[in-house]
Structure 1
């Protein structure tokens, strides 16, 4: 299945003495969905928390290769989902995504 969406990069930038702020960059990418799994957490909430265990493969470019450490989330179905691991496979990057991304994650 084809995938089109944004990848979120978050870097910190110094804004004065001992003051660092997060700088977010969304960049569009196209790729393929290699795995698409949804899991519900059987917690004590009414509906439980949904987690996904998807793997999205994108073709790497100079920007993404220079900013691997700053990849935080991937857009999937209109929401940002936390990237849990990155695997380099030749010229492709396989991004495993899990729970919903929030500012604290």
Structure 2
């Protein structure tokens, strides 16, 4: 991660396929992308305490049920990209748990 707001958007763009719209519930992320000329949208937060990324990642790392907390399409993508393996690898060096 880049800890510099001035270059963060360009860093994300360099790592992503082309896109025109940014979805984020984070006001800073929306502001940074809007200032960079991107359309931004804030998705509705539904049951945020249940569908919380930190909780889902913790469950993945602990081998607990996480699939019930995300849509089936997300489960399929996580499996396809070996997301849990990637998360475990990242957790060796990064602080992904709260």
Q: Which protein is richer in helix relative to its size?
A: 2
Please identify which structure carries the higher strand content: 1
Return the TM-score normalized by structure 2. 0.22
Task: Return the TM-score normalized by structure 1.
Answer: 0.21
